[in-house]
Structure 1
């Protein structure tokens, strides 16, 4: 097998070593080279250069791997060699007389293998490779240049043709043969392909189709074709080499179909007329759709331009107003009146008439230097004065006061000492609710002692205890000669010294 020429490229980055191998579907010998190159836009592209041995001739083409040529219209089919493509190429090599002096149209060429084989290995007068994807067409043009020396007398060209665009179709009755491999898997385009075939094929022309059975799409195409073409022949027993290489039981086994046009031009049948009517309607609908899309595009562009101009004009006006404002002399500041002093906010508990921790009802009267609170403890009234420096009644103190109210009999005829009394709320409730023998309030803070003495004096009229007293008692002091039955306290273990 002759060594195929290296692909052109001034900026090649990498060229893999040639490796002889069988083709993917086992019908050809080939040499594969992986190449990285730089395209005309300066982007790095990667492709595989494949050289197939076709009856002693090397047919070379490119298969894109990365970069341009990989983003296609209808998925990845046009970047792969399908079993139908190799079967069609085998058919061309074994039956070159079918293509002798014929004008051949290749539809859905993809990588172009079958079309290049028809141009290089037969005596066809003309071979036109077509595809609807512009990326595929660009790759086909490169592959065509690689095989330019292999085309003897055949005129081989590449053209973009969309089946549903009549303006791209070749002229009427311009081809003797149309060939294609795996081109009927899109059922929406069956009607367009059939209409184009009826137009471009000469009387007596044929459409040679190799296709795998893809979810019934081939059967639907052939069923429609029988109402349009004079003869439709379908075969799976057309080549023993294909049977052996691919296997007729395989899902991707290519089916061969030959669709023939009558040898003499006759009047169109009712089915052909209906097909053309449907195509004309769909083509007109596509044109109307394209016109509407173009009108929407123009309208959106005009709206965008108007919106941009409006925003620019608004910005200009804003900048002009800022410049005019900056040019004005600064006015002297007006003398501001002294603001009235803010009234202190009342705590939520005072507004709602509850104690700080919500365990008792409480009334508050504001005085100049202090607040007077009256606690309503299940019928027992306890009055307290609170200055800004007075300690707050803790949650533990209110809880202890609740416990005292629940157990008054514990303190009856008992001597009770409240240690670290603070405001003295629990001790005051003992003196007011239980018939205690004596209640003594103690604290080590002189300010707290003054507040306790004031509280005892305020509530003295409501006491039922025999006697009460206030004394200074710090932690560590010894109560000489005094004994108590109960010692109550709340929140006295907060400092390290007390815990020690």
Structure 2
């Protein structure tokens, strides 16, 4: 979500993030994602959390066919691309500075007959939410978007706005720091949360969240 250029000297094993492209096979399609670390930092590389969530979606644990999906903090667009290939109608979002790069990846990797099902749209969490219909989405997806503590309140506000009672949120992340655990506690204040998958090889958790039932609905 935030276009934060990480300091290379503080990261290990990051060589793959500096490659100009990364290739994946999902939904019987070869997907070639362009990367541009130097220009956009974290928004322009594929993170393990996105790959793990794509793999989870491909298993069929959730059925995306014909469903309305929105991805938050899409970055390179891999997750939204895979969701579209799996049959979803996807709104793929990020901040304005990342949109041209994001749109190029989406257009390059979706067949022309599928492209109408994928819309790239600007979304800064907590801002101009009225341009997104409240409760319109069946699924909200986010991969490695929980890392800046100053964005947590805006992210929660955005999730709350986008959700209906039927909406399923799927967040894929590595729990690196205490602040990540703090976000989960904040999320549980708004939603019922459970872990649905853990990838030990990549140390990635996938959490499912749903709006808590109101007393009047019980």
Report the counterpart of residue 200 of structure 1 in structure 2.
Answer: 162
Higher RCO, Cα 8 Å, sep 6+:
2
Contact 2:93 2:120 in 1 (8 A): yes
| Displacement after TM superposition at 1:254 (Å) | 1.2
Contact 1:172 1:200 in 2 (8 A): yes
CA gap of 1:145–1:157, structure 2 versus 1, over 3 A, is: same
Q: In the alignment, does 2:171 pair up with 1:209?
A: yes
Question: 1 CA distance for matches of 2:106 and 2:215?
Answer: 38
Contact 2:50 2:143 in 1 (8 A): yes
Output one character per residue of 1:306-344: Cα deviation in whole Å (capped at 9) or x when no partner: xxxxxxxxxxxxxxxxxxxxxxxxxxxxxxxxxxxxxxx
Look up the SS of the partner of 1:198 in the other structure: helix
What is the TM-score when the length of structure 2 is the normalising length? 0.81
Question: 1 CA distance for matches of 2:164 and 2:144?
Answer: 23
Q: In the alignment, does 2:114 pair up with 1:142?
A: no
Question: 2 CA distance for matches of 1:83 and 1:166?
Answer: 30
Report the counterpart of residue 352 of structure 1 in structure 2.
Answer: none
Output one character per residue of 1:269-322: Cα deviation in whole Å (capped at 9) or x when no partner: xxxxxxxxxxxxxxxxxxxxxxxxxxxxxxxxxxxxxxxxxxxxxxxxxxxxxx
**Which protein is bigger by CA-based radius of gyration?**
1
The root-mean-square deviation of aligned C-alpha atoms, in Å, is 2.7
Report the counterpart of residue 257 of structure 1 in structure 2.
Answer: 207
Question: 2 CA distance for matches of 1:266 and 1:166?
Answer: 29
Aligned residues: 202
Query: Which consecutive unaligned segments of at least 5 residues does structure 2 have?
Result: 1-15
Q: Where do residues 443-458 of structure 1 align in structure 2 (5 Å cutoff)?
A: none
| Displacement after TM superposition at 1:217 (Å) | 2.2
Q: Where do residues 124-143 of structure 1 align in structure 2 (5 Å cutoff)?
A: 124=88, 126-132=89-95, 134-143=96-105
Q: Where do residues 274-285 of structure 1 align in structure 2 (5 Å cutoff)?
A: none
Look up the SS of the partner of 1:146 in the other structure: helix
| Displacement after TM superposition at 1:60 (Å) | 2.7
CA gap of 1:266–1:159, structure 2 versus 1, over 3 A, is: farther
Q: Where do residues 301-312 of structure 1 align in structure 2 (5 Å cutoff)?
A: none
Query: Which consecutive unaligned segments of at least 5 residues does structure 1 have?
Result: 1-23, 26-33, 35-46, 247-252, 269-500
Question: 2 CA distance for matches of 1:266 and 1:102?
Answer: 28
CA gap of 1:155–1:188, structure 2 versus 1, over 3 A, is: same
What is the TM-score when the length of structure 1 is the normalising length? 0.37
Question: 2 CA distance for matches of 1:148 and 1:164?
Answer: 29
Look up the SS of the partner of 2:76 in the other structure: coil
Output one character per residue of 1:342-384: Cα deviation in whole Å (capped at 9) or x when no partner: xxxxxxxxxxxxxxxxxxxxxxxxxxxxxxxxxxxxxxxxxxx
